[in-house]
Amino acid sequence: MFLEVTYEDIDKNRINGSYKLIDLRSPSEYKSETIPGAVNIPIFTDEERKIIGTTYVQESIDKAKLLGVKAASKKLPAIYEQVSQLDKKYNNLIFFCARGGFRSSSVTGLFRTIGINAIKLDGGYKGYRRYVNDNLPKLIEDITFVVLYGNTGTGKTEILKNISEKGYDILDLESSANHRGSTLGGVGLGEPNTQKMFESYLFEALKNRKYNLVFTEGESKKIGKAVIPDYLFDKIRNGINIYISAPMEKRIENILNDYVHNTDNELIEALEHLRRYLGHENINRYIEMIRNKEYKRVIEELIIKYYDPRYESNKRIYVSNFYNLNTNNTANEIINFFKPKIIESSISNFSE
């Protein structure tokens, strides 16, 4: 017999003591999407999972289970070592697989028999996803978004991070997507997050907020591989808009710091996608300049010829403008401007 909890139990803080989520799915399943904060201790490799799944569908359930037992049994000593170390750090270990079936049921039952406080997540990862899908729209109902707009390189993302460090709520859409949103937005960041992971990070950020006034950055509907859900996109679009500007020198420096760190090949690959906008002559010249490490010249030309003209086509009403010479000072100015609204929106009892 094993204990079960739902993700709602976790979200509503009904777990006694500390806990750690353990994802038993294969490495590729975990890499694609998981519950934020979970560690991966896979029962099957990707290849084993494929073979077992094929056997389950094309031959028999019993044969698939036998293959699963044989594959898992070889890994049990190593799995036990990992679980044992986590058991020393946490009061509860919550195991999950795709649907809360064979993998999590077997492992939870086994570890409980040897004295580890193992708990199964009811419904597995799919149960968690249903919970996010049902509750993410509800989370934003009472939120008012303060939306930072401004041309590329004005430091909006760094301002948001500074606001967060000062204890106020932000929704960092770019971090949640692991992409900056533009054609060059993935340079230096690795693989962008999937839609499911994107929504999971949005959920985590909003469920843990202290206020109903949340700062975010104005983005296009699609960021990398992720698409902002309609209900959230509309809420942000109807938020309170502020405009961030900065001198050209600071903008160039910000972009340089974000994009240029042994990323020449990625920059060149990304520039190839701009040929239809900027022409072959310009792109060929920019590529040669990157090879010669003339990054600032390329950045300035891209700002003038590509980014600013595209951005200036957007017409919005702003409640205030902020000139960003120093990120810390600008963050303080924004917080002070909205202080009455922040205090009014306090939800100190939100988690209760």
Residues identified as active-site = 97
Are 231 and 192 in contact by the 8 Å Cβ rule? The answer is no
Residue given tokens 């991966």 in the structure block:
40
DSSP state of 324: -
3-state SS, residue 320: strand
* Residue pair 327/250 in contact by the 8 Å Cβ criterion: no
Alpha-carbon span 307 to 155, nearest angstrom? 14
Distance CA 10, CA 152 (A): 39
Q: Using DSSP, state whether 273 is helix, strand or coil.
A: coil
> Rounded to a whole number, what is the distance in angstroms from the first to the last CA of the chain?
31
Q: Report the alpha-carbon distance of residue 35 to residue 277 in Å, rounded.
A: 40
CA pair distance 327, 118, nearest whole angstrom = 46
- Helix/strand/coil percentages in the chain, nearest 5: 55, 15, 35
Q: Which amino acid is at 39?
A: V
Return d(Cα 145, Cα 135) in angstroms, integer: 18
How many secondary structure helices (H) and strands (E) does the chain include? 16, 12
User: Quick count: other Cβ atoms within 10 Å of Cβ 258?
Assistant: 20
The sheet carrying 213-217 orders its strands as 170-171, 213-217, 144-149, 240-245, 320-323
